[in-house]
Amino acid sequence: MQNYYSKLHEMIEYHQVGASGLVVVGDPEMLPAGTKFIVGETGELLAGKISKDVINVIKENLLKSIQSKNPKNLTLSRTDSVFFPSSLSVPFSLTSDLTIFIDPIYPQTHLIILGGGHIALPLVKLGKLMNFQVTVADDRPSFANSKRFAEADNVICNNFEKVFQRLSINSNTFVVIVTRGHRYDQLCLEEALNSAVKPAYIGMIGSRRKVTTIMNTLQENGIPEEVLDSIYAPIGLDIGAQTPEEIALSILAEMVRIKRYGYSNGLKTQARGKKINGQ
């Protein structure tokens, strides 16, 4: 099992989501006060000297804290039927009650921009203004370089087929697809949908015709309709945007709405029979 502090550093460096735990009031025989541990986004134990049986008992509370992004004090009473119902065969016993402080680990929100064209330029600037960690990826050296995107935290120049091998995606990641063509948009969309953890947001720019074509192809390839419904395409809020700067603003506005409310009534929910936001 990895050292607590090295794992915490690794999670922050690679934008990983999870939670740290500290035993405030402990069981001297089984789990002493001061014990620290770290779990991943799905509740699996990553670091710390704590029984996996204890993790399993508190897993639901760990996940709730991670999903809500709110820390909490959790008390496990020996007589509490919520944690120790008669139907559950608990593989351990407590000699005293436990209090565990759970603190979600949520690094800086990560914005991944796939495509280094004219919309990516203002999108990087606005993303940094809104305190996102920003990564730009493109397969063209003239578009994916630190001189063009001086404000980006990370610029990747590689084939889109290989870009995702260098990306860390979690539920705190926002993915914006603005490549130069249908083929690359579809490729990036498929890779984003196949991520081990679902991103907070996947948005793709495109006309009604382009979006319909790609969605139909993905559905024919076996991707369920409910998964496709989670994609924001056309991307952004309807502010009548036409210029790259306005389109970038509409995208960031939708991302902020998703971040705050968990949903958006943007362009994807509207009638797509006309050209909207320059798409």
CATH superfamily label, 110-269: NAD(P)-binding Rossmann-like Domain (3.40.50.720)
Going from the C-alpha of 213 to that of each of 171, 217, 218, 220, 233, the distances in angstroms are: 27, 6, 9, 11, 12
Q: Is the pLDDT of residue 9 over 60?
A: yes
**pLDDT tens readout for residues 205-235:** 988 888 999 999 999 999 998 899 899 999 9
SS3 of residue 46 by DSSP: strand
Cβ neighbors of 94 (< 8 A, separation 6 or more) are 27, 30, 76, 78
> Degrees (nearest 5) of the Cα angle 200, 264, 209?
95
CA within 13 Å, CB half, 42:
5
Domain boundaries, the chain: 4-105, 110-269
Of 82-86, 103-107, 175-179, 255-259, the range with the highest mean pLDDT is 175-179
**Residues pairing with 174 in the sheet:** 111, 201
The predicted structure's pLDDT at residue 7: 93
> Higher-confidence residue: 92 or 266?
266
Backbone region of residue 240 per phi and psi (left: phi > 0; alpha: psi in -120 to 50; beta: other values): left
The predicted structure's pLDDT at residue 15: 77
- Residue 79 — very low, low, confident or very high, per pLDDT cuts 50/70/90? low
Cβ neighbors of 236 (< 8 A, separation 6 or more) are 203, 247, 250, 251, 253, 254, 266, 267, 277, 279
> Higher-confidence residue: 88 or 46?
46
**pLDDT tens readout for residues 121-145:** 999 999 999 999 999 999 999 999 9
Going from the C-alpha of 197 to that of each of 40, 184, 191, 260, the distances in angstroms are: 11, 21, 12, 20
The predicted structure's pLDDT at residue 272: 42
Predicted TM-score (pTM) of the model is 0.74
The percent of the chain in helix, strand and coil, each rounded to the nearest 5, is 35, 20, 45
Which amino acid, one-letter code, is at 230?
Answer: S
Is there a contact between 204 and 179 (Cβ–Cβ < 8 Å)?
A: no
Q: In angstroms, rounded to a whole number, what is the distance separating the alpha carbons of residues 192 and 130?
A: 23
The predicted structure's pLDDT at residue 267: 79
The predicted structure's pLDDT at residue 93: 64
Burial of 114 (0-12, 13-18, 19+ CB in 10 A): buried
Q: Is the pLDDT of residue 25 over 50?
A: yes
Is there a contact between 134 and 113 (Cβ–Cβ < 8 Å)?
A: yes
Query: Average pLDDT for residues 27-54, to the nearest whole number?
Result: 89
The predicted structure's pLDDT at residue 81: 47
Please, what is the average pLDDT of the chain? 87
Ranking 6-15, 38-47, 90-99, 101-110 by mean pLDDT, the lowest is: 90-99
**pLDDT tens readout for residues 63-77:** 999 988 899 999 887
